[in-house]
Structure 1
């Protein structure tokens, strides 16, 4: 069974955007709310469904990295997909790192996700803005590239992390994460992700869903869900009209067939600290530390994920050097 995917991105050209989807739909500014993800079962456990509103999370990522429209759409899709996979594949204090290594101008995209809903990331080149594609949507494929690798490393608390890797199959990312789930995790899935970017590069909405097929699911259920997903309004349209993650799931599976299991708050949260950077400095060679002391008389560390800066004085570096040489 092959699912149709919903991956849609738009650039807002004015204060009001008209999207023709059956009838004219006007996108108006909505008040922001905390991001969260819903986990559910449907059709007596034949399907597992996740839906997420990741607007504030992606909005924060865009602000931190000053990303431009095409880069923001790709970055936001990656963050949204990671939020879905982390809730499906992780438990407790487990965490994962997603790397998208395409041949497009954004370069490598890295996202960290945890089972508790923490997300953070960075991209090699955030300043990518491309012409709209032939569907008048942001050219995510052009930004990411159609050739490369999607690699996911899961830290499950074992001696060795598990790493799965698949080639990029489209560069649109929804399809690529779907392919990863089928090939690396052996879980047939349908993943839809969306980011709506304003003209000033800020994020209007972001969100998505993932439907997973459980062993023993009937052909009747799969046919029904495939049709529902194919006829689903664009994710950005639903979110602009305040469709919640719960309602998104109901539109896919039907309220009467759905059992909500859990609600998880997600957000862009970096766990960097000066202590962690001090440990990193302590791991470099004493020769390099001496150069920092003698030539620079100090050091400054910058977190890739949140851009926070940590300053180490000459005195602090000398203490680190003394600790290393003990």
Structure 2
């Protein structure tokens, strides 16, 4: 199922609640439902990376998708890495999300912009590319991470994640992702994942896709102030929808810090660090995920080299 998107002009949106994720079941426990509001996180990603309109929608969809995928992990430190590498001008999309509700991400070419589609939509599929791969890495918090790769279906992100879950995970799934923009800001970003549980008839997934399609555009309704729980009730309320009362807070978070960056510099080796000292008189390191810049003076690099030498 394609993720909804749009570029809406007009009055300022109503205040957005804090981002959160909710879980539930429907159809007498035959359907698993996970939904997330990621508006603030996508806003922060757009501001940090200076994203174009189409790059914002592509990355926003991927951030919501990664949060939905991470929701079924068990260990507190478990995480999901989602990477999309298509043949479009956007380049790669990289997202990291945790079962704790933290998410971060970036795209290779954040400034690209494309003409709208004939339906006046942002052309995410063209930006990402029709050909390429979706890579999912599930770090369960113990043992070796589980890695899976599938070919892109459309580059629209929602279709691609749904295909991954159905073909690689063998779980019939429907995914709806949406990011709504105006000329100044992200008005709403969200996602819904519906999956069949063991014993459920396969025909249910087609019904879920039809229901999500008939509701109309997802993120514009959230931008107008409709609540996530209310929308889920509209879609699934007649199927005995039961939502867990607790919300999992969601936020943009990158764990990078000066000590971690120093650790990365150590991996370069003393010769490379000495070359930085002599050629650049210091170092500038940019975190790809959050775009934070770390500066290290010539003296700081010399001190790092001395520490490395002393530890040998």
TM bin, normalised by shorter chain, reads over 0.9
Cα offset for 1:89? 4.0
User: Which of the residues 6, 10, 20 maps onto 2:6?
Assistant: 10
Q: Following superposition of structure 1 onto structure 2, how do residues 193-204 of structure 1 map, counting pairs within 5 Å?
A: 193-200=177-184, 202-204=185-187
User: Which of the residues 246, 251, 255 maps onto 1:271?
Assistant: 255
Residues 5-28 of structure 1 deviation map (CA, whole Å, 9 limit, x = unaligned): 25221112x325xxxxxxxxxxx5
Which residue of 2 is the match for residue 243 of structure 1?
226
Distance 2:155 2:182 in 1: 22
User: Which of the residues 246, 264, 287 maps onto 1:303?
Assistant: 287
TM-score (norm 2): 0.93
Q: Following superposition of structure 1 onto structure 2, how do residues 1-326 of structure 1 map, counting pairs within 5 Å?
A: 5-12=1-8, 14-16=9-11, 29-89=13-73, 91-200=75-184, 202-218=185-201, 221-222=204-205, 224-254=207-237, 257-261=240-244, 262-325=246-309, 326=312
Cα offset for 1:108? 0.5
Greater mean deviation of Cα atoms: 284-293 or 231-240: 231-240
Residues 212-250 of structure 1 deviation map (CA, whole Å, 9 limit, x = unaligned): 101111367556534422321210232123222222221
Structure 1 stretches lacking a partner, 5+ long: 17-27
Distance 1:294 1:222 in 2: 62
Cα offset for 1:252? 2.1
Q: What SS does structure 1 have at the residue aligned with 2:55?
A: helix
Cα offset for 1:169? 0.7
Alignment length, in residue pairs? 309
Distance 1:74 1:128 in 2: 11
Q: What SS does structure 1 have at the residue aligned with 2:84?
A: strand
Q: CA RMSD in A?
A: 1.8
Structure 2 stretches lacking a partner, 5+ long: none
Write out the 4+ residue segments of structure 1 that deviate beyond 3 Å after TM superposition. Answer: 218-227
Cα gap change, 1:147 to 1:123, in 2 (>3 Å): same
State whether residues 49 and 249 of structure 1, in contact with CA within 8 Å, keep that contact through their aligned partners in structure 2: no
Q: What SS does structure 1 have at the residue aligned with 2:63?
A: helix
